């Protein structure tokens, strides 16, 4: 696949996942509240004076990796949902 096409598809996927995420947050206030609490906690850790530098760096690495895993998981679920939808439409004979 052409590199430029792949970049455009990845950008499209990123934008669609962002839109889906925002819609999910609006539709589920409890999830929005949990995400807000996680963001506040992340800031507390970043600016904490109770943690030594090594512990703080370790926690930042953990949060970064956790965020990266979440991002990849969202992408996977979105793509899998599209694949499942296409498979169902094919089975129903709506598309070939």
pLDDT digits (tens, 9 = 90+) for 45-67: 888 889 898 998 999 899 899 98
Q: Check whether 1 has a pLDDT greater than 80.
A: no
* Residue ranges per structural domain of the chain: 3-66
The whole-model pTM stands at 0.68
Cβ-based neighbour number of residue 23 at 10 Å: 10
Which residues lie closer than 8 Å to 60 by C-beta, 6 or more apart? 45, 46
DSSP 48: -
Q: Could you give the CA distance from residue 2 to residue 77 in angstroms, rounded to a whole number?
A: 24
Residue 84, pLDDT > 90, answer yes
Secondary structure of residue 12 in the 3-state scheme: helix
């Amino acid at each position: 696949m052409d590199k430029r096409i792949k970049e455009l598809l990845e950008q499209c996927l990123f934008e669609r996942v962002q839109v889906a995420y925002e819609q999910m947050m609006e539709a589920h206030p409890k999830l929005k509240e949990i995400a807000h609490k996680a963001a506040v906690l992340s800031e507390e850790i970043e600016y904490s004076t109770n943690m030594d530098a090594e512990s703080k760096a370790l926690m930042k690495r953990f949060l970064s990796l956790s965020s990266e895993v979440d991002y990849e998981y969202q992408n996977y679920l979105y793509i899998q949902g599209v694949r499942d939808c296409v498979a169902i439409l094919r089975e129903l004979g709506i598309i070939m």
